Amino acid sequence: MSNPFDVIVIGSGPAGYVCAIRCAQLGLTTAVVEQNVNEQAQPLLGGTCLNVGCIPSKALLDSSHRYAEAAGHLSDHGIGVDGVSLDVAGMMARKDKIVSQLTGGVSGLLKANGVSVITGSAVLLAGRQVEVTDASGEKSIHTAGNIVLAAGSEPAAIPPAPVDGDRIVDSTGALCFEAVPERLGVIGAGVIGLELGSVWARLGANVITLEAMDQFLPNMDEQIATESAKIFAKQGLDIRLGARVTDVAVSSDAVSVTYTQNDSSETVEFDRLIVAVGRTPRTEKLFAADSGVTVDERGFVFVNDYCATEAPGVWAVGDIVRGPMLAHKGSEEGVMVAERIHGKAAQLNYDVIPSIIYTHPEVAAVGKTEQDLKAEGVDYKVGSFPFAAIGRAMASGETDGMVKILSDADSDQILGAHVVGPSAADLVQQIVIAIEMAASTEDLQLMVFGHPTMSEAVHEAALAVDGRAIHMVNRAKR
């Protein structure tokens, strides 16, 4: 048995490595265990987010958007471009370079903060012991005063469409196509399915997305979801709701997908099929039966409001616990846990965690939706403002979408904000800060917003809550 650490973190994704760095900053001797390795047998740090999730997908989203602009939209600006060509291999190389730089950066940060990196597959045993099995099969036992589980998640599977890594791929495989498929199917119209579908549609694929649910983006504000669906349809994304996949057949050159919709059955052929039906927590082999850690029926670890498990000194953060599977949520949970281990009364406000879809335009939200407030019986006010009336948006040719703000009818405190449009992720973050500071819409009304900026849509939406928007005709307030 090795010398004990103060903290051992299992997993080096955003939740794990951030937790480890904060622990080290607080003077705790810390180790991170990572099972994935690169071609040189070095630990592959950064988890799903940096390696096969957030970062590579955003790199391809940006590259594909630039290609689409050059190939079809610059003429609106009086710019003529002839002979635009697509280099998929070059695009993938750029993505891989960015991933390498960021994962290398994580390695450097861990080293600079004195965090030990242990390579191998970890299992939590009783008594805060961690058994690590390396690539050769050799086992070692490590102990610590506190253990933080941050094992992350993996793509969910569905029986009718087993991933074969060739014709049928998951979100990881969809980031590595060597050529643009002419006919691309996507199962799932959630965040992952929309982003990946957008990438390949911009590059020329004919994309059909099959979504089993009857409602588009059900967790989003209904008005924003409806507006988003209109924008995506205008872009040519064929999203079929209530389409339940029942059978998939793979031949030498195609994938045939059979689905039911409105009590009828239809079969469509694709060159490639992406299964993007969500993710599942990676907890199946994470701990021994006597470790004291328990999970629910879906495999999520039971934790309290501060991410403590039922086992003393054992914590769990990120995708393996309740709440949205978001890198920024996991990172902040990692910080909270590190500080609580150190004795600080840290906590995390789960009501102000933003959600973002990096399509173009982006879709972003924080706080309550209008349907939430109706269901809770809250008397509320609402204000919205279209980007079509924002000078900066018109100058940029980015006029689709709107900003929507919800506030309490009595106190005027901001309860939620929802945006579809240019820079939606950054605009929602402004309102995240406002909600965290218990601001009212009047506070936003009184602030000076630069002109011309996209942020003026936030200002105008706040004014619209009270029927005071300047650059549109206001609707009568109830």
Residue 281: its H or E element? strand 279-281
Please, what's the b/e burial string for 291-323 (b: 16 or more CB within 10 A of its CB; e: otherwise)? bbbebeeeebbebeeebbbebebbbbbbbbbee
Cβ 275 vs Cβ 210: under 8 Å: no
Question: Following DSSP, what letter does each residue of 5-57 receive, concatenated?
Answer: EEEEEE--SHHHHHHHHHHHHTT--EEEEE--B-TTS-B-TTHHHHHHSHHHH
Spatial separation of the C-alpha atoms in residues 45 and 29, rounded to whole Å:
19
Gyration radius (Cα) of the chain, Å: 24
Cβ 151 vs Cβ 320: under 8 Å: yes
3 state SS of 95: helix
The DSSP letter of residue 74 is G
Please, what's the b/e burial string for 67-80 (b: 16 or more CB within 10 A of its CB; e: otherwise)? bbbeeeeeeeeeee
Spatial separation of the C-alpha atoms in residues 74 and 204, rounded to whole Å:
17
Catalytic sites, residue numbers: 451
Spatial separation of the C-alpha atoms in residues 381 and 376, rounded to whole Å:
14
Question: Following DSSP, what letter does each residue of 123-157 receive, concatenated?
Answer: EEETTTEEEEE-TTS-EEEEEEEEEEE---EEE--
With tokens 């048995």, the residue in question is: 1
Angle at 325 between CA 324 and CA 330, to 5 degrees: 100
Q: Which amino acid is at 384?
A: S
